[in-house]
Structure 1
Amino acid sequence: MNLIVAAVFGCLFFFSLVLLFVFYNKILEQKKILNKFKSKYNETAKRLYNADIQKAQLGEKLSFLLDMQTKYNNINKEFVSSKEKNQHLATKLAEQNIFMQEKLEYIAKSEKKLKFQFEQLSSEITKKNTATLDESNKKSMQNIITPMQTELKEFKKRVEYIYDKDSQDRARLSFELQSLKELNLKMSKEAKDLTNALKYDNKTQGSWGEVVLDKVLESSGLRLNHEYKKQVSLKDKNSKIFLPDVVVYLPDNRHIIIDAKTSLVAYNQYINENDKENKKRHLKEHINSIKEHIKGLSSREYEKLQEINSLDFVFMFLPIESALLLALENDVSLFDDAFKQKIILVSPSTLLVALRAVENSWRYEKQVKNINEVYSRAEKLYDKFVGFTDDMLKIGKGLDIAKESYDETLKKLSSGGGNLVNQVMMLKKVSNIKSKSDINKNLIEENS
């Protein structure tokens, strides 16, 4: 009996051990599954974090572009308003010109009529005075009208030029905004391909970085030796000479200094390395290399150089988008640390956006100058018109005086009891003079 009980307990104990072993294996399998899910979760979280960083960066770029678009729209509205005012002024001037032309035609007709009447007078003195007055009036009118017509032509040409220039600028800006993304992708691809070809030659890498910088400057629309200059020789307060890569000139007599830094050794090693530990080491070296460049560039204190009115920071240009993004993704404080040292990290795309903003500010500056010039011409034209009206009134008074003199002379000639016409007619009648021509009938009728 005891043996049977022992056997039963033994079986139960063995069965318990088997169940315990099976349960333990199940727990291990569940733990492995849990670890896999945890690994996938961590990987997904990392991707989401990177995506958030990229989203924030893209959001900043989009916000900047939207801000620039808003500024452009405001400028465009102001220009349209100014253009409407100019058109309104041009219309008024055209109306005044038509009015004055009608007056001139009336005066010309009056002159012809007066000239015809004066030519009938027998008095040589009256003829001479009339001819002198007529010639003087013509010269005065010509001296007044000629400058007026010249001013109107110049004003019309200037308004048409500004309108055409504004249309061209708007079309070009629209095209540039559409091609910006394309250009950025193309430059990034070229930079990556060339970086792989350059490998470890730092000198060649530096020269290539300057070439990429030149390409960005050319694409921005700025002109060499006008809105920007290269390798400008500058001195500090101790007369030490510095040669920054590029100095960009702003409309308000401010400056932006750009310095190209190309250090791709660690970055290339990171790209071409497959081992995780080595990749981490190369990544750290890449970030440290950028930090060293930031420190060295900050120590130069370009913003304190003579003849430079800097914006208190310097652009440090890295020619490869992915190299800068890699460093920023793995060291989130890198950009802020650089900014504290008065350095702004820029890649081809971000620098291009900034330079396009500079180019737009120059374009706006030129538009403002053109508008001011139009206003100045309009003021001069208005003053000239006021002078013209004053001269016209003076001419009218002169013509009235001439008419009075003419009437007085005509009265002496043909009116009154002892007028010349009456005496000559009586002399002809008494002496029976036979002449080839007779006195004008109008004078005889007035005398009768």
Structure 2
Amino acid sequence: GAENDNKRRNIIIDSKFPLPDDLTLTSDSDMELESRIAKEIAKNLKYRIDELADKPYREFNDYTYDYVLLFLPYNNILDLALSADHNIYQYAYSKKIYLVTPHTLFMALKTIHISWTYIQREKSVQSAFKEINAFYEKFATAIESFQGIQKHFKSLGDDIDKLDKQLVSGRGNLCGKFESLKNFGATPKKNLPNVEGE
């Protein structure tokens, strides 16, 4: 069921990310050093994104989330990378990688959980409608069969009335003609049904 499916779901979170050796920045650090470090972080980050994109994490099983979460331990690391490459989020997304930090990891996991719950509900609703459609179609077929029987009965009734007129009740019916044979001397031992006494 839906509960078991959710228990089997997996999210790959990777936290291996090389930091520059001279990462220590202070308020006295010059802009050139900060820019160089930011570029190195962005370069390392894109390299790690490419590495993760090439790994077969998503083939782990059918319940593994399509995107890998790349966890960066410090928010300012991502800020520095973005200052050097504004498109790094989009680049990661195009490779099916989500960049998360301590501030955004929980929000990302909650969003994924909500999307899984919504998808599972959609599947349940679709299954229910599939059953309803099958039941409706079966009922429609039964109605068509019943209408066919009604039509055959009406046709049979019309044929019975027509034959009754030909044999018994209609003008010049066969019963009358056979009875008239007695006027010519016919002496049958058995009378016709429903004509006795006439």
Equivalence for 1:411: 176
Equivalence for 1:346: 108
For the pair 1:285 / 2:99, whether they are aligned, the reply is: no
Seen in structure 2, the aligned counterparts of structure 1 residues 214 and 358 have a Cα distance that, compared at 3 Å, is farther
1:354 deviates by 1.1
Instruction: Please list, as runs of the form range in 1=range in 2, the aligned pairs for 1:192-341 lying within 5 A after superposition.
Output: 195=15, 200=18, 202=48, 203-208=50-55, 211=57, 213-215=58-60, 218-219=62-63, 260=68, 262=70, 267=73, 284-289=76-81, 295-298=87-90, 317-318=98-99, 324=100, 326-328=102-104
Superposition RMSD on alpha carbons, in Å?
A: 4.7
Inter-partner Cα distance in structure 2 for 1:285 and 1:218? 33
For the pair 1:174 / 2:3, whether they are aligned, the reply is: yes
Instruction: Please list, as runs of the form range in 1=range in 2, the aligned pairs for 1:57-136 lying within 5 A after superposition.
Output: none
Amino acid at match of 1:176: D
Seen in structure 2, the aligned counterparts of structure 1 residues 328 and 261 have a Cα distance that, compared at 3 Å, is closer
Seen in structure 2, the aligned counterparts of structure 1 residues 300 and 219 have a Cα distance that, compared at 3 Å, is closer
Does the 8 Å CA contact 1:261/1:293 hold for their aligned counterparts?
no
Seen in structure 2, the aligned counterparts of structure 1 residues 446 and 400 have a Cα distance that, compared at 3 Å, is same
Equivalence for 1:242: none
Instruction: Please list, as runs of the form range in 1=range in 2, the aligned pairs for 1:17-56 lying within 5 A after superposition.
Output: none
Inter-partner Cα distance in structure 1 for 2:85 and 2:139? 55
Does the 8 Å CA contact 2:53/2:97 hold for their aligned counterparts?
no
| 1:169-208: CA deviation from partner (whole Å, max 9, x where unpaired) | xxx113335x26xx56xx57xx46xx5xx66483544434
Seen in structure 2, the aligned counterparts of structure 1 residues 199 and 301 have a Cα distance that, compared at 3 Å, is closer
For the pair 1:423 / 2:188, whether they are aligned, the reply is: no
1:325 deviates by 5.2
Tell me: higher relative CO, structure 1 or 2? Use CA pairs within 8 A at least 6 residues apart.
Answer: 2
Question: 1:367 is matched with which residue: 128, 151, 157?
Answer: 128
1:389 deviates by 1.7
Seen in structure 2, the aligned counterparts of structure 1 residues 293 and 351 have a Cα distance that, compared at 3 Å, is farther
For the pair 1:441 / 2:182, whether they are aligned, the reply is: no
Inter-partner Cα distance in structure 1 for 2:76 and 2:164? 102
Query: Identity of counterpart residues, as a percentage?
Result: 10
* Structure 1 segments (4+ residues) deviating >6 Å: 290-294, 299-302
Question: 2:151 is matched with which residue: 390, 406, 410?
Answer: 390
Unaligned runs of 5+ in 1: 1-171, 223-245, 247-258, 268-281, 303-314, 319-323, 330-334, 336-344, 426-438
Does the 8 Å CA contact 2:166/2:174 hold for their aligned counterparts?
yes
Inter-partner Cα distance in structure 1 for 2:92 and 2:97? 13
Does the 8 Å CA contact 2:75/2:101 hold for their aligned counterparts?
no
Does the 8 Å CA contact 1:316/1:346 hold for their aligned counterparts?
no
Seen in structure 2, the aligned counterparts of structure 1 residues 289 and 300 have a Cα distance that, compared at 3 Å, is closer
Matched position secondary structure for 1:317:
strand
Equivalence for 1:230: none
Q: Which has the larger radius of gyration?
A: 1
1:372 deviates by 3.5
Matched position secondary structure for 2:115:
helix
1:399 deviates by 0.6
| 1:1-41: CA deviation from partner (whole Å, max 9, x where unpaired) | xxxxxxxxxxxxxxxxxxxxxxxxxxxxxxxxxxxxxxxxx
Inter-partner Cα distance in structure 2 for 1:404 and 1:316? 87
Inter-partner Cα distance in structure 2 for 1:423 and 1:288? 127
Inter-partner Cα distance in structure 1 for 2:98 and 2:93? 16
Inter-partner Cα distance in structure 1 for 2:155 and 2:101? 78
Does the 8 Å CA contact 1:287/1:327 hold for their aligned counterparts?
no
Structure with more helix by fraction: 1
1:402 deviates by 0.9
Inter-partner Cα distance in structure 1 for 2:182 and 2:119? 86
1:301 deviates by 11
Unaligned runs of 5+ in 2: 19-46
| 1:74-99: CA deviation from partner (whole Å, max 9, x where unpaired) | xxxxxxxxxxxxxxxxxxxxxxxxxx
Seen in structure 2, the aligned counterparts of structure 1 residues 379 and 206 have a Cα distance that, compared at 3 Å, is closer
